[in-house]
Amino acid sequence: MGLNAAQKILSAHLVDGVPGGAGELGLKVDRTLTQDSTGTMAYLEFEALGVERVKTELSVAYVDHNILQTGFENADDHEYIRTVAKKHGILFSRPGNGICHQVNLERFSAPGKILIGSDSHTPTAGGAGMLAFGAGGLDVAVAMGGGAYYIADPKIVGVELKGRLSEGVSAKDVILELLRRLTVKGGVGKIIEYFGEGVKTLGVPERATICNMGAELGATSSIFPSDEITREFFKAQGREADFTELSADADASYDELISLDLSVLEPLAACPHMPDRIKPVSELEGLKIDQVCIGSCTNSSLLDMLKVAAILKGKTIAETVNLTISPGSRQVLDELARLGALSDILNAGARVLECACGPCIGMGQAPKSGAVSLRTFNRNFEGRSGTADAQVYLVSPETAAASALAGCITDPREAARGLKIELPASFTINDNLISAPASAEAAGEVEVVRGPNIKPFPVGHPCEGDIAAEVTLKVGDNITTDHIMPSGSSLLPYRSNIPYLSGFCFSRCDEGFPERARKAGQGIIIGGENYGQGSSREHAALAPLALGVRAVIAKSFARIHRDNLVNAGIAPLEFADASDYENVALGEKLSIKDIGEALNEDREELEVFKQNGGSFKVKIDLTARRRAILLAGGLLNYTKKTAGEERT
Ligand code: MIC
Ligand code: SF4
């Protein structure tokens, strides 16, 4: 039996585990990326591991998130990342160079390789045939130290693309259609692999858009084959040498199959406040809008920007609309200028922002009270824009541009009629914003600069004996990491300061939580389905850890967050019977009996006793390795311990 593309890469990198079983796969990591809002913590953890030089073939540190410098904190963190990267053998992509996923696609993607990144949208690189995973900072730190990356053995879903997109319908609509069909939980435990005739009609940036929002499906990763179109992309980037062909064998099979006819798709929008609340744009037409934001790692390629420029050309945006445009990289912005399209964008009335995440993570451009904001981004979680009552819709660049002109949600098919975008055969290559690390010999001379905002991070406690603690928080389904540890311009500067940050943990759901948790000393969180969906920020585990959380009992967990909990030494446990969720109350005292023993003995269930009598069962759905991590009190303790054992 032949292999599909994902299986080929997985088997070439397998260092632990058996594919096809129920366990985990340990994978050799070729490359890593970090961005600044998760990177400070990842490098502090890397330093704590005591490894001198990274052991990966390539590691790159980007600065793209914490760009507003309204105080010293972000600038200090950038300097820490610059110097720590220089010392330990990591390339540094300076502020202004662009969003990590866009720059990675352009300059560092490579078909057939494995990349992990401390950002949930790392699978964007799947558009260039790379198998890429979003991970917590500590997992990236361990990989930089030469450790394997572990994933639950994924199911591989084959999405067969047929036909060709009609005018005005774009790659964004493809992934919105999948979100409509599968929901934000539909990809959990799965790698989504695209194949079929329709693949040939999509360029690498379009494939990258589709892979990018696989994160919103909860997927482990997403990947396209690497074909002649991929070769052209690498050629245009002056990197043909990095190209290799990679596709599924003719007799390959998939665990599940989905068929998607591109030619019948229409423009879609994700309605407030979840990426899977999909409606056709035609149904929303006429809804008055206040803001339009174009950019983010989903839709900031040159192709997207040129489409937007062509729709805006010679026109003026509606008087009541604020339009922001953030090109994904300096290369994109430079090309826009060179081709004259920047002038079309500026003259239509757009506010051109830095090549960075910007409004996507609430780093500025919070819309007005109650605003309707149309964004080409990937997440529309409540409050993420920085305005609690804003209504954010996620759309394609075409829909965003046409709507900005009209002042209301507008089907872009009319505006996009006859639109033909030619990408340049070769891009202007200038890597002068990527700083090389010091040589191994000179590394000793590099001083790592730590600003006063960098504070020690909490380290977990071994899971042993009973966990007897109060329920310090109870929340519902689909809790995102933006609920757990909100971002935005006021909190992102404290990503290297967990003591401060933890004071805002869950502030969007329950402002009293931090104080209650501190008072209780030890706590247990009760959650619903898909707990921890969204970003890879390990701060969503570290802040609860700092507030004494020892276990989270939920109906189900999102992949990266579950890993982050284990890495922090917090036990993620699942209700054996989901209806028991109803019977646990805030403030109730619970006793999780003999958790250490249960982990040690590989037990699959555990009894939780309630203070006022009665008990319920929880599942421990964790592999032997993850159990050992919990027993050690988190991945840092575990890695140091196992490294010590190997030395003796
Ligand atoms: C996001 O889109 O939520 C982020 C900001 O990029 C996060 C990382 C973070 O929280 O720093 C992500 O997606 O992992
Ligand atoms: Fe940045 Fe937004 Fe992409 Fe996250 S989703 S990496 S904040 S652009």
Tens of pLDDT, residue by residue over 439-450, are: 999 999 999 999
List the end-to-end C-alpha distance of the chain, in Å, as a whole number: 43
Farthest CA pair distance, the chain: 73
Q: Which residues contact 154 (CB under 8 A, 6 or more apart)?
A: 6, 189, 190, 191, 220, 221
Look at residue 148 in the predicted model and tell me its pLDDT.
98
Q: Which atom of ligand 2 is nearest to 35's Cα?
A: 6
Q: Which H, E and C letters describe 154-189, residue by residue?
A: CEEEEEEEECCCCCCCCHHHHHHHHHHHHCCCCCEC
DSSP letter string over 305-335? HHHHHHHHTT----TT-EEEE--SBHHHHHH
Tell me which residue has its CA closest to atom 3 in ligand 2.
297
Pocket test for ligand 1, best of 35, 81, 536 (most atoms within 8 A of CB): 536
DSSP letter string over 212-260? HGGGGGTBSEEE--B-HHHHHHHHHTT-GGG---B---TT---SEEEEE
Is the Cβ atom of 76 under 6 angstroms away from ligand 2? no
d(CA 380, CA 520): 33
Q: Which of 535, 561, 563, 625 is catalytic?
A: 535
DSSP letter string over 129-157? T-EEEE--HHHHHHHHTT--EEEE--EEE
For residue 40, report the distance from its CA to the centre of ligand 1, in Å.
13
- E strands along 24-93, which residues? 24-27, 31-34, 58-62, 91-93
Pocket test for ligand 1, best of 33, 34, 65 (most atoms within 8 A of CB): 65
pTM of the model: 0.97
d(CA 177, CA 599): 41
Q: Is 461 a catalytic residue?
A: no
Neighbour count for residue 607 (Cβ, 10 Å): 14
- Please give the single-letter amino acid code of residue 38: T
Write down the residue that tokens 């529309």 correspond to: 380
Q: Is 119 a catalytic residue?
A: yes
Is the Cβ atom of 629 under 6 angstroms away from ligand 2? no
Q: Which ligand is nearest to the CA of 494?
A: 1
Give me 554's structure tokens.
Answer: 């939920």
Look at residue 2 in the predicted model and tell me its pLDDT.
96
For residue 580, report the distance from its CA to the centre of ligand 2, in Å.
36
- How many CA atoms within 13 Å lie on the side-chain side of 371? 22
Stretches in the chain below the pLDDT threshold 70: 646-648
Q: Which ligand is nearest to the CA of 64?
A: 2
DSSP letter string over 363-403? SS-PPPTT-EEEESSS---TTTTS-TT-EEEE--HHHHHHH
Q: Is 65 a catalytic residue?
A: yes
Neighbour count for residue 513 (Cβ, 10 Å): 25
Look at residue 642 in the predicted model and tell me its pLDDT.
87
- Which residues are near ligand 1 (CB < 6 Å)? 37-38, 65, 119-121, 134, 361, 487, 535-537
Look at residue 594 in the predicted model and tell me its pLDDT.
93
d(CA 264, CA 261): 6
Is the Cβ atom of 121 under 6 angstroms away from ligand 2? yes
d(CA 378, CA 381): 10
Tell me which residue has its CA closest to atom 2 in ligand 1.
535
Q: Which of 30, 77, 119, 290 is catalytic?
A: 119
Look at residue 1 in the predicted model and tell me its pLDDT.
85
Q: Which residues contact 182 (CB under 8 A, 6 or more apart)?
A: 217, 276
Q: Which atom of ligand 1 is nearest to 118's Cα?
A: 14
Write down the residue that tokens 């090389």 correspond to: 436
For residue 642, report the distance from its CA to the centre of ligand 2, in Å.
34
Is the Cβ atom of 357 under 6 angstroms away from ligand 2? yes
d(CA 387, CA 401): 22
Pocket test for ligand 2, best of 378, 381, 481 (most atoms within 8 A of CB): 378
Q: Is 550 a catalytic residue?
A: no
Is the Cβ atom of 99 under 6 angstroms away from ligand 2? yes
Q: Is 563 a catalytic residue?
A: no
Q: Which of 101, 379, 450, 626 is catalytic?
A: 379
Render pLDDT for 171-225 as a digit per residue (tens, 0 to 9): 999 999 999 999 999 999 999 999 999 999 999 999 999 999 999 999 999 999 9
Q: Which of 30, 64, 173, 411 is catalytic?
A: 64
How far lies 4's CA from each of 9, 19, 282, 359, 550, in Å? 9, 13, 37, 37, 40
Is the Cβ atom of 119 under 6 angstroms away from ligand 2? yes
How far lies 603's CA from each of 287, 575, 576, 619, in Å? 54, 15, 13, 9
3-state helix, strand, coil in the chain (%, to 5): 35, 20, 45
Tell me which residue has its CA closest to atom 12 in ligand 1.
535
Q: Which residues contact 432 (CB under 8 A, 6 or more apart)?
A: none
DSSP code of residue 536: -
